[in-house]
Amino acid sequence: MSEDPNIPESEEFREDELSSEMNVAKVHGSIMREQADPRDGYEPISLWLITFSFALVFWAGMYLVGNSGGFSSEVFNANLVAWDGSGAAVDKGPPDPMVVGKRVYTQYCLVCHQSTGLGVAGQFPPLVDSEWVLAREWHGDNHVVKVVLNGLQGPITVKGNLYNNAMAPWGGVLKDEQVASVLTYIRNEWGNAAPPITAEFVALIREQNADRKEAWTQKELQAIPRAVIDASAPPAADEAPAADPAAPSQPPAATAAPGA
Amino acid sequence: MNRLPLLFLGIFLTFASAWAGLVAYPYLKLGQLLPITNEETGELAPPPLSGIADAGQDVYAANGCLYCHSQQVRPAYLSTDIAKGLGPRRTVARDYIRSRPAFLGTMRTGPDLTNVGLRYSAEWQHRHLYEPGEVSKGSIMPAFRYLYIMQKIEGAPNADALKDLTGPHAPKPGYEVVPTEDAKALVAYLLSLKRNYPLPESPEEALE
Amino acid sequence: MTTLAESLNPSSSEQTLEKIERSAIDASARLPVLLFFGTAIFWLLIGSLLALVASFKMSIPGFLDNEAWLTFGRVRPAHMNTVIYGWASAAGIGVGLWLMARLCRVAMMHTSLLIVAAIFWNLGVLVGTLGILAGDSRSIEWLEFPGYSTPILFIAYAFIGIWGIIMFRFRRPGHVYVSQWYLLAAFLWFPWLYGTVNILLIWQPILGSAQGAVNWWYAHNVLGLWFTPIGLASAYYMIPKVIGRPIHSYYLSILGFWSLALFYSWNGMHHLIGGPFPAWMISASVVASIMMFIPVITVAINHHMTMKGHFGGLKWSPTLRFTVFGAMSYTVVSFQGSLMAIPTLNQITHFTHYTIGHSHLGLYAFFTMMMFGAMYYITPRLVGWEWPSANLIRWHFWLAAIGILVMVGALTLGGIIQGLALYDPAVNFMNSMHFASPFLWVRSISGLLLTAAHVIFAVHFVMMLLQMGSKRGEPTLFARPVLEEETLSV
């Protein structure tokens, strides 16, 4: 035993352990009763496991080839490049503005105007039955487009109640189709009914106000001369002097009439 | 399996294979990407960060924003990120070359921030960081009031002071809440998070 | 020889030699391993406390929200790093070194250097944790310790790893057991992982999303190439050792080891499915994650067939109970992980609490319980004393087992609900948070159970070190062991 360098001489054991007979029995007690060290059995691997492993390897190969975009570092969407190298393009037709609009509303507008469209008393104005949302003549419609594109600040009266908050501009975030969809949505949800707004109309308003940097105020919006095109529309929030219908750069009645 | 050289070789080679694919490959192919110039506007994509926005990345890292907020827009065929409006297109490697580090994140306890710079103003961000529960009712985001200083108004109010604060930590009359440099840097960074510039490797996908 | 041999049966049989040898090995390992165990338990307590703070903050956002060093974004990574490096790695090192010494049948030499390494390791963890709370973390997940502390850990590990490898190099010639392969691999893989990631993410950071790839290659491999091999090495040792049976199949061991080595390291990108990476990288990780069924099923069969007919041991052996709990959890968490990597399912579970449930199933239900089992076996052999109280072990086990099952259950259910809400574009984001909130409360309460279990374990460990309680000649077991043809063993 002592020739084996791995087994230290007994002097290396702690004195206090050797000095007590009881302790010697215990130091070795746990070791004395131990089983032999673990050893290996040699059962063969079951055929099921081998079959399963091969099946998995086969699947792995197929999946890799089909979903790796040709192993290029510039292809991020695996579905764009099929296993034979051809791309995938699916045409789903024009999207429904109520569906798209609801999605946009949920993501951006619902936080303030709520899922009921009723807003929060004293903080955010309601959209339900709101004269601002439902107004149909030229300036009414483009008021609401302007507000979405550039934002709104300062006091505003909606359905007789005063609100004074800040609405963020969304022109830099939402595309014309999205603005048109969400406005169409709020004009036709919760019992509201008004003609839809088109993306072209939004583009027109955006172009006309391209230099505008600040949010609109109620005063400014109402000061814009307006042209009445539909006498049966609910009145606008504040009557402003009817001015020359030729004021806008486009003829108001026919081509600029949104939707319908 | 009783010999050290054989074991070592196997241990090394199996490790090296994944190292080659998941470490060396991204290092060579993705780690050397440069910004591209937009042909129409002449701007760089991704655009460079201003000095203060770049400093904001350090504040973002130090305070662990990443543990609740992700910064990645997944593609439409693998998720509903684009349908939810997180961004006009999925994010790709080039979008993160100015990030130190790339704050991709793995949790959405809070909303994704890839394009948060498009959604909120600086004023909103300051008020939200100061007291998230007042701006976003029901939010579980912790308050970062320690990035702000409540001080007595000396003469004229400070130009940077936060306005319209409500709630239990709103300043008493005669007091104002002013952002520290860290807060300003963080907000500048958040405002810089706009990945809506076009990139050739990430075409915009249909809304549906 | 001297009185030692004479105090035993003086026959020079193989068995007696073996036992004397083990005694010598244990004596050489005593100080370093106990130091690793003791400090590991300390960090387990700290990590549990930090976890409670972080968890309650998610339910009560105003909780402790006045100070920068206590903000959630710092407490959460502090929790993770203390349990990963302070508790789990240190416990794993202690267990790994002892297993390697026993299986190689060599005593540890110059252990004072190992003790210095242990002190440095703990210093690194301490400095790193304070650094995170002070605001120096770079928010690189699993690697938040600031750059001034990671070299301390790396150097400390250098000694530890070298020890493990040298022990293997100078092992007794003969059959090499499966646990030794796993331990050798773990001791080699960890420094390669830690070194690479320190260079590419901390010292000379690479640009852009490539960081994400390297980050999650590292984080996943700490699980798969450091913790898993140590855990499996312990299971492969403790199970046959306690019940006195051979491992079912050497061939399964080989298949399990090499398939793990080959596939596990490619899994990293499954944390980033849908992320800004070339499609093939994500697909490679999805494939590797599914291929993990092979090593996991292999190891499960091997362990199960070894245990077959001996499950009665779970009634009386603390070591076996913790170890088998861990081994079964390994199978479950790995199956869950493979399924989570399927992109269709990942759409729902990504970014949710489901992932956190999964990670705790792995690091706690598998690795931590496995380490508890090993520590219950090893400590008596180092201290020369038996565990003072079977009741304390009982409390430890049940609080921990129930705690972790409740935690994982709550996070899994909450995560699925959160994920379904996040997936639906018509559901506002705030709702995804609110649906999950009751589950977060349950998680916090289960955390209290786990913390209680850890306090009990810590107290019991200190009682062991102080050799409190009465002297025993028998092992501390839950019940009378039912004797089969072998003598009892703990």
Cβ neighbours, 10 Å, residue A161: 12
Tell which of B67, B113, B145 to mutate to test the C interface (max C CBs under 10 Å).
B67
The CATH number that applies at residue C129 is: 1.20.120
Say whether the peptide bond before residue B35 is cis (omega within 30 degrees of 0): no
C-chain residues within 8 Å CB-CB of A32?
19
Which range of residues forms the domain containing residue C44? Answer: 19-174
User: Average pLDDT over chain B, rounded to whole?
Assistant: 90
Query: What per-residue confidence (pLDDT) applies to C2?
Result: 42
Q: Which of residues 46-105 of B touch A (CB under 8 A)?
A: 75, 77, 83-85, 88, 90, 92-93
Cβ neighbours, 10 Å, residue B178: 19
Which burial class, exposed, middle or buried, applies to B101 when counting CB atoms under 10 A from its CB (0-12, 13-18, 19+)? buried
Looking at the domain assignment, is residue C483 inside a domain? no
- Cα–chain-centroid distance for residue A226? 37
pLDDT of C346 over the 80 cut: yes
Helices and strands: H and E segment counts in chain B: 6, 4
pLDDT of A235 over the 80 cut: no
- The C-alpha of A38 sits at a distance from chain C's nearest C-alpha, in angstroms, of 5
How many B/C residue pairs have CB atoms within 8 Å? 243
Q: Which of residues 6-35 of B touch A (CB under 8 A)?
A: 25, 29-30
Rg from Cα positions in chain B: 22
Top-confidence residue, B76 or A20: B76
pTM (two decimals) = 0.82
Q: How many domains does chain C have?
A: 1
Looking at the domain assignment, is residue C78 inside a domain? yes
pLDDT of C224 over the 70 cut: yes
Residues 6 or more apart whose CB falls under 8 angstroms from that of A167 comprise A112, A147, A151, A152, A153, A215
Q: Which residue of C has its CA nearest to A46?
A: C252
Subunit contact B29:C278, Cβ cutoff 8 A = yes
pLDDT of C5 over the 80 cut: no
Tell which of C249, C316, C464, C476 to mutate to test the A interface (max A CBs under 10 Å).
C249
Subunit contact C73:B7, Cβ cutoff 8 A = no
- The C-alpha of A165 sits at a distance from chain C's nearest C-alpha, in angstroms, of 22
- Cα–chain-centroid distance for residue A114? 17
Subunit contact B29:A177, Cβ cutoff 8 A = no
Position C267, amino acid: N
Looking at the domain assignment, is residue C476 inside a domain? no
The shortest CB-CB distance from B75 to any of A73, A77, A104 is to A77
Q: Which of residues 76-105 of A touch B (CB under 8 A)?
A: 76-77, 79, 92, 95, 100, 103-104
Subunit contact B17:C266, Cβ cutoff 8 A = yes
Please report which helix (H) or strand (E) contains residue A119, including its range.
none
Query: What per-residue confidence (pLDDT) applies to A48?
Result: 94
Looking at the domain assignment, is residue C473 inside a domain? no
Subunit contact B96:C211, Cβ cutoff 8 A = yes
pLDDT, tens digit (0-9, with 9 covering 90-100), for B104-160: 999 999 999 999 998 888 999 999 999 999 888 889 999 999 999 999 998 888 888
pLDDT, tens digit (0-9, with 9 covering 90-100), for C351-366: 999 999 999 999 999 9
Q: Which residue of B has its CA nearest to A72?
A: B29
B-chain residues within 8 Å CB-CB of A100?
207-208
**Residue of C442, C455, C317 lying closest to C399 (CA atoms):** C455
pLDDT of B91 over the 90 cut: yes
- What is the Cα–Cα distance from A182 to A170, expressed in whole angstroms? 12
Looking at the domain assignment, is residue C364 inside a domain? no
Q: How confident is the model at residue A215 (pLDDT cuts 50, 70, 90)?
A: confident
pLDDT, tens digit (0-9, with 9 covering 90-100), for A95-111: 678 878 887 887 778 77
Looking at the domain assignment, is residue C84 inside a domain? yes
Give the position of tokens 């995938």. Answer: A88
Q: Which of A137-151, B16-30, C126-140, C246-260 has the lowest mean pLDDT?
A: A137-151
Chains in touch with C (≥3 Cβ pairs < 8 A): A, B
Subunit contact A74:B206, Cβ cutoff 8 A = no
Subunit contact B95:C273, Cβ cutoff 8 A = no
Looking at the domain assignment, is residue C81 inside a domain? yes
Looking at the domain assignment, is residue C205 inside a domain? no
The shortest CB-CB distance from A168 to any of B77, B92, B121 is to B121
pLDDT, tens digit (0-9, with 9 covering 90-100), for C436-453: 999 999 999 999 999 999
